[in-house]
Structure 1
Amino acid sequence: MEFYYTRTISEHPRIVKLRGSVIDYTYGGGSSPAVLLIMERMTRDLHCGLRNGLSWVARLQIAIDVVEGIRYLHSQGLVHRDIKLKNVLLDNEDRAKLTDFGFCIPEAMMSGSVVGTPVHMAPELLSGRYDSSVDVYAFGILFWYICAGQVKLPNHFDQFQNKEQLWNSVRKGIRPECLAHFNQACWNLMEQCWAAEPTERPLLGDVQPQLEAIFNSAKSDSSGKLTSCSYSPPYQQCFKNVQEDYYYNFINMREY
């Protein structure tokens, strides 16, 4: 499925490019050959970028890039269904592209399957009745991490022992907390995107101008330096420990 959609999606600057594919006949000990995708070379994912530290202006540009990528998919009738830090890749100028179309599907063909990464999943996904607005919800959660400048789970989610507890809390309206350094415009946008009712979430065509206004304000305010709505964690080398990097605790509840 990922190969099909990655191959058929027209080239777009905010979508990772497919260069080719190979068949690995040794996969699974040779019992089940696998198709391996060869993608354009990107330097890191957003999870790694946030751990290493990105300026506030750079993070806002990434948020705009992500929205542009999702908007393009939606314009093609596709829903990504797994927007998260690790599915946003960065080039050597920290511009973002979307990747991993394993859960991507035409909106008209959505069968009600429950897929995605728990922390980023909209409440209606659990009922099996949803539309493209699940990507808007997931972007709202992603934007929380972008504004936080860190990859640690929100405190409101960190207390749960499994994904069932998390999902129950999300159904009841629990969302990530507002951090002290968030400005009001950022927080308002997050709250709009992760609204419980899909019809109350904004169109991405309305989200992008709001992001661009915040971006332009931050850019003129400090010429790209960190501002009051930013945080940069201490430097950590990425991928030094694969198990730590993927953070698969609680049955993928914390996979970013």
Structure 2
Amino acid sequence: MSWAAGTQCVAKGDHRKAKPGELVYHKGDILTVVDTSTRKGYFKARHNTTGEEGLVNSTNVREREALRVDPGLSLMPWFHGNISGPEAVSKLQPPEDGLFLVRESVRHPGDYVLCVSVSGQVVHYRVIYQDNKLTIDNAEHFYNLIDMIEFYSENKGSIATTLLKPKQKHGAKSAELELSKSGWLLDITKLTLGENIGEGEFGAVYKGDYMGQRVAVKTIKCDVTAQAFLQETTVMTKLQHKNLVRLLGVILHKGLHIVTELMTKGNLVNFLRTRGRSVVNSVQLLRFALDVCEGMEYLESKKLVHRDLAARNVLVSDDSVAKVSDFGLTKDLKVSDSVKLPIKWTAPEALKKEKFSTKSDVWSYGVLLWEIFSYGRQPYPKMSLQEVKERVEGGYRMEAPEDCPAGVYSLMRICWEQEPRKRPTFHKLREKLEQEMQEMSKHSR
């Protein structure tokens, strides 16, 4: 078994009686390989939750698999969409107490119906949507259907029986089951939420602690959005790179919580704005540019397009490493709504024809380089969005930021070639930045 350092694996059984130097773990624990050159058949690993390190017998673990991206994967496998009452009744046969499904209300568009089998009958409860909350009895209110089903699975409340068994929609697979089988489902009871560190478009982000590890938690309350984010998360399980923000796992509780490593120094724009030239020298700026480029080169090698690359979506770790975040989700959520496209960062062909590709990411990377070397200034200063669109289309390009090395500015310019095929790959950009770095460290000696 050849495991690389950084590989995450899942324990197949308990190992409680550890010999000196060995790691204690339980079945299902997630371990990260630290060093494979220790002794034959063993490797050194760190326990993802206790943080302890020790030797592990390689036959006792399996690699933590990436989730298959599967359109059938659902946070709400019991949701059947728009079906009639009689159809719901026929789906809940043979009768079984606590067997249930949720459908859209035909009579009251915008509302839902919870259908539950009890004593041989199917009872239909209208779920009313009011003031952004859902309720059956005006006593209990819920943010979303996931939240409601979770509640009535544990409490009978004012319905005839607790919900015991979801009737899955044909073709739907329970996300909870799949996440748990592949080792990506985390335990809500082990999470402590701390302060709110940001409001995203889709939900809040909190600092937190997961079994001794500092984490960031993105909470998504709206069930439709949560479902779309589930796809982002499946993409994230496949990606491991030092310049991409690392996914630790997912918690399903009143919606979806995406748990990632905590990047203590916040996003790159604020990092640069609050420190400025006196604190951050140009070698450090180049280092950030290279970090982002390496993360993007990795995404390029996986044929993944980011679509929203900008310094606000790059986070800085404790030890000042820049990592790309918010990749994966951008495919499904942004494009239908081209109003929301970040115009100053988006390549002309993507604005006009919604043609997104690695080459449009390269364009955005050019703008991100400009943000880095201007210490976090807003691109196209003093220009309106309409002006930016028209003038860039007509061939206008930004001037170099003050004191920007000529070599770096020429890289920005080739990222902004009007024709996508003339723009370099991230691989090529990385080589050029490394040369630039060597030049710069010669002169700064």
- CA apart distance, 1:24: 5.3
Please give the secondary structure, in 2, of the residue aligned with 1:185: helix
Q: Percent identity?
A: 29
Whether contact under 8 Å (2:374, 2:402) holds in the other structure is no
Q: Confirm whether residue 136 of structure 1 aligns to residue 358 of structure 2.
A: no
* Structure with more relative contact order (C-alpha pairs < 8 Å, separation 6 or more): 1
Q: Confirm whether residue 63 of structure 1 aligns to residue 289 of structure 2.
A: yes
Q: Structure 2 CA distance, aligned partners of 1:149 and 1:172?
A: 27
The corresponding residue for 2:315 is 89
The corresponding residue for 2:383 is 159
Q: Confirm whether residue 17 of structure 1 aligns to residue 246 of structure 2.
A: yes
Whether contact under 8 Å (2:263, 2:315) holds in the other structure is yes
The corresponding residue for 2:342 is 117
Q: Confirm whether residue 39 of structure 1 aligns to residue 260 of structure 2.
A: yes
Could you list the runs of 5+ residues in structure 2 that have no partner in the other structure?
A: 1-227
Residue among 174, 182, 185 paired with 2:396: 174
The corresponding residue for 1:213 is 435
The corresponding residue for 1:195 is 417
Q: Structure 2 CA distance, aligned partners of 1:85 and 1:105?
A: 19
Q: Structure 1 CA distance, aligned partners of 2:291 and 2:270?
A: 17
Please give the secondary structure, in 1, of the residue aligned with 2:442: helix
Please give the secondary structure, in 1, of the residue aligned with 2:270: helix
Whether contact under 8 Å (2:268, 2:315) holds in the other structure is yes
Question: Aligned AA for 1:217?
Answer: E
- Supply the RMSD in Å over aligned alpha carbons: 2.4
With normalisation by structure 1, the TM-score equals 0.73
Please give the secondary structure, in 2, of the residue aligned with 1:92: coil
Could you list the runs of 5+ residues in structure 1 that have no partner in the other structure?
A: 26-33, 224-256
Q: Which has the higher helix share?
A: 1
Q: Structure 2 CA distance, aligned partners of 1:124 and 1:10?
A: 28
Q: Structure 1 CA distance, aligned partners of 2:437 and 2:230?
A: 34
Residue among 196, 204, 212 paired with 2:426: 204
- CA apart distance, 1:83: 0.5
Larger radius of gyration: 2
Question: Aligned AA for 1:182?
Answer: C
Whether contact under 8 Å (2:269, 2:375) holds in the other structure is no
- CA apart distance, 1:113: 7.3
Number of aligned positions between the proteins:
208
Q: Structure 2 CA distance, aligned partners of 1:212 and 1:189?
A: 12
